[in-house]
Amino acid sequence: MNEYRAIPPSRTRGFTLIEILVSLTLIAIGLLGLAQLIVKGQRASFEAYQRQQAISLANDMLEKIRANRARAADYANAAPVATPLGEGTRFNDLTTGTITNCAALPCTPDLLAAYDLAYWDGLLQGTTETFNAGANTAGGATNARGCVEVVIAAVAPSTLATYRVTVAWQGRDETVAPVVSTCGNGLYGTETRRRIVSLDVRV
């Protein structure tokens, strides 16, 4: 004969409302933490992207100076730290024909230096690498500025000069103010938002 045994009430009850609210609160806290982690990851990724763009821009100018070493001083004179390139004035002169387009016409070393600087001025603005891109811009370092400075002057007859190419841009978060170069100094509100990359070349 089968006996019917009643299950105690304490073993049949479900979750109480308080238990459900506590569980939902814990889940919400976990999701908020995950969301903050994703945001920080995106910011770090964006900073890394901007740094990579700046390195590419600095290396581009460094190679141009190396290729046109006879006029290396022209690059430093045209892009000093006090008035860095990146506002687009020289690039506008290039697009209007005031500066010779050395990609289409043969140029002397001094004309080539002017062309290189104007082209770099456009790239710092985010202008695409097509010469006639005009006002079209692509993603790049925010408010990028470029400078060329003489770090060690040449001493005749054998000592080479050392030139420093610096690209500065505006970071999103405050960090430590850079000290390697003053390129872009005062352009970003606070020095702790100024980011730079610098590359040196001896010519």
Assigned domain for 109 exists: yes
Decide if 119 contacts 99 (C-beta within 8 A): no
How long, in residues, is the chain? 203
Partners of 199 in the β-ladder: 165
Please tell me which residue, 12 or 54, carries the higher pLDDT value. 54
Assigned domain for 2 exists: no
Decide if 94 contacts 115 (C-beta within 8 A): yes
Q: What is the mean pLDDT of the chain?
A: 86
Assigned domain for 22 exists: yes
Structure tokens at 107: 């140029």
Task: Give the best-scoring range by mean pLDDT among 3-12, 26-35, 36-45.
Answer: 26-35
Number of domains in the chain: 1
Assigned domain for 69 exists: yes
Q: By residue range, what is the domain housing residue 41?
A: 13-202
Assigned domain for 133 exists: yes
Decide if 116 contacts 90 (C-beta within 8 A): no
> pLDDT tens digits, residue range 103-155?
999 999 999 999 999 999 999 988 755 554 444 555 578 899 999 999 988 87
Decide if 47 contacts 170 (C-beta within 8 A): no
pLDDT at 6: 56
Assigned domain for 37 exists: yes
User: Which residue in 63, 20, 17, 96 sits closest to 199, CA to CA?
Assistant: 63
Assigned domain for 1 exists: no
Assigned domain for 3 exists: no
pTM value surpassing 0.85? no
> pLDDT tens digits, residue range 31-88?
888 888 877 777 777 788 899 999 999 999 999 999 999 999 999 999 999 999 999 8
